[in-house]
Structure 1
Amino acid sequence: MRAADEAALHRVARRRARQEFQRKERVDVRYSVDEKTEILAEAGRLGLAGAHLVGAIVMGHLNGDLALPEQRTTTDDLIDELAALRTQVARIGTNVNQIAHRLNSGGNPHPVDSAVLAEAGRVLAMVKQAVTAIDATADVAATQQRAA
């Protein structure tokens, strides 16, 4: 699965908010055993119920947030790739933070610890700038897409 596809699915599935009243209406859908297995596996990976995942995808499509594969634009792909990139860059920041925390936790410092800490601070600043730039770019792309 491409990063853009996974990001789009995750974005739409997580966006579906609970409603104040219980949903009582049903739409029955039939799947093959393999299709059902895939749906439940993906829902489990995302921490969702299978019905929630299917409902979120359908409602996302109806609300214009999720296009069918043949309806996707390059802007949709760009936004979702940026979301996936942001996640990866943020993970780098988390890892650097963990390294800095370990070095600052006391004990017997090594001679290179101060240099590593300084570099960690520089990398964290770069990660923050990258995340901010990614967010701004995704926002511009989404705004232009809505205007179109």
Structure 2
Amino acid sequence: MDINEIENLPDRIPTLISMFQNALDQFKNNKIEKDSFLLILSQLTDRQVMTYELLRSDIRNDIDRTLSRLWNTDSYDEVDIILSIVVNLGLEICFNKIKESLEYYKDIDKSILDEIQETIDEVGENISNPYYSLEKFK
């Protein structure tokens, strides 16, 4: 799986679930590096958002657990990408780990800390449903 191929995909694709699964499998089998994995997930998440539907729960849970293991506050770019994926896919486990990181990591860079806090404030308690604000338009 190549990031350039992913970036050139159309906004809506019928094979999105299998592409998420493929990315997870390749990462777990050490066939792609963490940076590529996060970029691929980010691109696939952008396409998932365009469906206005929650990702299938088993895939979503697998991504949630995987990103929870990868979460750290060392890199602004990683934090930014993971926050976007977590919010747009409604990943509860990782979101809770992100909130906890504010308590446990005292030496977080201010720009990273601000990004995390801003995301938490924006999401509030509606992490499990990224389309919460759109439901009033149904």
- Provide the TM-score with structure 2 as the length reference: 0.27
- Provide the TM-score with structure 1 as the length reference: 0.25
More helix by share: 1
Larger radius of gyration: 1
